[in-house]
């Protein structure tokens, strides 16, 4: 595999950007070696600057559910750009996108567009605090909600509920308002609420965890979150930035039939442009400025380009045939990868929710951060490079989810499964 040009660009990039990238995981640190620099992408394929073609299962970390450069999205964007890229004033497009989102997510009565998932979660927490007049946030170990100060926290030792900052630059005082609990642990959750409910404004959760691979909630876990938060007047926030339109059209809340108070969206609803959104119950969202006293604003929020890409994407997703095709492709991939591992004699655990998935190199059931850590990351590293060599681009970390798109064909899946079998054999 020729990567001379990527290597040269990486060297240049390192001189002008921290780690040579604009977002850490792109730098391949978890797998070693040089990141690929990308020249273009189309459908299910991505092309690096050395001219190599790969089947792409990263899809910009989830947003591109229709595949790269989907014709209707490109066409609409070209038209939109001619009319100006941003006005800083309301447009009818924003109403159209809000209406499309509401159709998929009935729990969202009112919605506010922002520019990233991070902004969505940060703002949703602020509204929850304004609404409850309480300060503390409950989050779960291994869930990622963007780089919000108070959420960059990892569990302290000894199963204590008080965490330690996960990043330099986060004051201990910021995370003193965050309570961190293990995912899928219903008892720990109940006990914590019983003790601390008077101080807790909200509980934020990835209903299916996509940021430590792909971890499914136990049957009763999400239901317990709903019942208990309701009992104590705590706002339940589903961070569906990744799961929205991925686990199902109406996200994990549709699939698991649990209705949160607030929902955060991003990724897919921007169709590949920078977008986030948060919304939910009317009486909570009415507190957002200018209707209410919770301040939140954005120069480029709801800009016509991002909103147009979102509208065109959601239009395609609104057709039931879309999810039928996605499901069929995903089933082929699931079957193929499981068979390939079995035939090669490699023990893995494979999980998926809708069109997001993960293959863990472990024999243990993965149910939370601790069990996810039982994965053999050295085996994953070899798997990553083996797949890349065979022109399959997967996320360069064991703890990231994989994604498929509408553009992935049965032939893509066949090639991928063959590559996986050959790579598994090498481990």
Residues binding ligand PLP (CB under 6 A): 116-118, 121, 144-146, 206, 210-211, 239, 241-242, 266, 276
Query: Given strand 349-353, what is the order of strands in its sheet?
Result: 349-353, 356-360, 402-403
Q: What gap in Å lies between CA 140 and CA 153, rounded to an integer?
A: 10
Annotated active-site residue in 48, 56, 185, 239: 239
* Contact predicate 233/131, CB 8 Å: no
Annotated active-site residue in 70, 144, 256, 393: 144
Residue 237 to residues 3, 161, 333, Cα–Cα distance (Å): 43, 19, 31
Q: What gap in Å lies between CA 225 and CA 262, rounded to an integer?
A: 13
CB of 149 to ligand PLP, least distance (A): 13
Name the closest residue to ligand PLP (Cβ). Answer: 117
In the complex with ligand PLP, the residue whose CB is nearer, 217 or 386, is 217
CB of 206 to ligand PLP, least distance (A): 5
CB atoms within 10 A of CB 374: 14
In the complex with ligand PLP, the residue whose CB is nearer, 24 or 71, is 24
Q: What gap in Å lies between CA 349 and CA 332, rounded to an integer?
A: 17
In the complex with ligand PLP, the residue whose CB is nearer, 116 or 405, is 116
415 has catalytic annotation: no
In the complex with ligand PLP, the residue whose CB is nearer, 52 or 301, is 301
In the complex with ligand PLP, the residue whose CB is nearer, 242 or 348, is 242
2 has catalytic annotation: no
CB of 101 to ligand PLP, least distance (A): 16
* Contact predicate 415/401, CB 8 Å: no
The residues, any chain, with a CB within 8 Å of residue 120's CB and separated by 6 or more, are 114, 146, 239, 241, 264, 265, 266, 276, 277, 278
In the complex with ligand PLP, the residue whose CB is nearer, 146 or 386, is 146
CB of 417 to ligand PLP, least distance (A): 26
CB of 240 to ligand PLP, least distance (A): 7
> At 252, is the secondary structure helix, strand, or coil?
helix
Annotated active-site residue in 139, 267, 349, 381: 267
368 has catalytic annotation: no
Do the bridges between strand 110-114 and strand 276-280 make them parallel or antiparallel, or are there none, so unpaired?
antiparallel
CB of 230 to ligand PLP, least distance (A): 23
The burial class, CB within 10 Å (0-12 / 13-18 / 19+), for 176 is middle
> At 427, is the secondary structure helix, strand, or coil?
coil
Q: What gap in Å lies between CA 186 and CA 140, rounded to an integer?
A: 11
The residues, any chain, with a CB within 8 Å of residue 237's CB and separated by 6 or more, are 121, 124, 125, 128, 202, 203, 204, 205, 260, 261, 262, 263, 264
| Residues involved in catalysis | 144, 239, 267
């Amino acid at each position: 595999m020729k990567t001379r040009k990527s290597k040269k660009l990486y060297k240049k990039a390192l001189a002008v950007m921290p780690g040579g990238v604009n977002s850490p995981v792109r730098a391949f640190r978890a797998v070693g070696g040089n990141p690929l620099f990308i020249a273009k992408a189309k459908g299910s394929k991505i092309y690096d600057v050395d001219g190599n073609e790969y089947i792409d299962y990263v899809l910009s970390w989830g947003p591109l559910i229709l595949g790269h450069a989907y014709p209707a999205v490109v066409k609409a964007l070209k038209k939109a750009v001619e009319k100006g890229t941003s006005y800083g004033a309301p447009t009818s497009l924003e109403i159209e996108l809000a209406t499309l989102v509401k159709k998929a997510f009935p729990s969202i009565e009112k919605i506010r567009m922002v520019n990233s998932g991070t902004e969505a979660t940060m703002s949703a927490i602020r509204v929850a605090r304004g609404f409850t007049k309480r300060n503390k946030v409950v989050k779960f170990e291994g869930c990622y909600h963007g780089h919000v100060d108070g959420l960059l926290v990892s569990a302290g030792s000894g199963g204590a509920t008080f965490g330690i900052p996960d990043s330099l630059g986060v004051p201990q005082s910021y995370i003193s308002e965050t309570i961190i609990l293990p995912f899928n642990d219903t008892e720990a959750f109940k006990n914590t609420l019983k003790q601390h409910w008077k101080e807790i404004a909200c509980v934020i959760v990835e209903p299916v965890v996509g940021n430590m691979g792909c971890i499914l909630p136990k049957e009763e876990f999400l239901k317990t979150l709903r019942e208990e938060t309701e009992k104590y007047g705590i706002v339940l926030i589903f961070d569906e930035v990744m799961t929205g339109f991925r686990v199902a059209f109406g996200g994990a809340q549709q699939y698991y039939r649990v209705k949160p108070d607030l929902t955060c969206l991003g990724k897919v609803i921007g169709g590949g442009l920078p977008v986030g959104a948060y919304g939910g119950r009317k009486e909570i969202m009415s507190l957002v400025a200018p209707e209410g006293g919770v301040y939140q604003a954005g120069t480029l929020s709801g800009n016509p380009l991002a909103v147009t890409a979102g509208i065109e994407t959601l239009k395609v997703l609104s057709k039931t045939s879309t999810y039928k095709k996605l499901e069929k492709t995903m089933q082929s991939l699931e079957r193929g990868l499981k068979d390939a591992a079995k035939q090669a004699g490699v023990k893995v655990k494979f999980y998926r929710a809708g069109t997001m998935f993960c293959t863990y190199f472990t024999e243990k059931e993965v149910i939370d951060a601790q069990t996810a850590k039982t994965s053999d990351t050295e085996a994953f590293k070899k798997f990553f490079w083996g797949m890349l060599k065979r022109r399959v681009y997967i996320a360069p970390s064991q703890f990231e989810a994989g994604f498929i798109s509408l553009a992935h064909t049965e032939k893509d899946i066949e090639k991928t499964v063959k590559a996986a079998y050959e790579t598994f054999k090498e481990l």
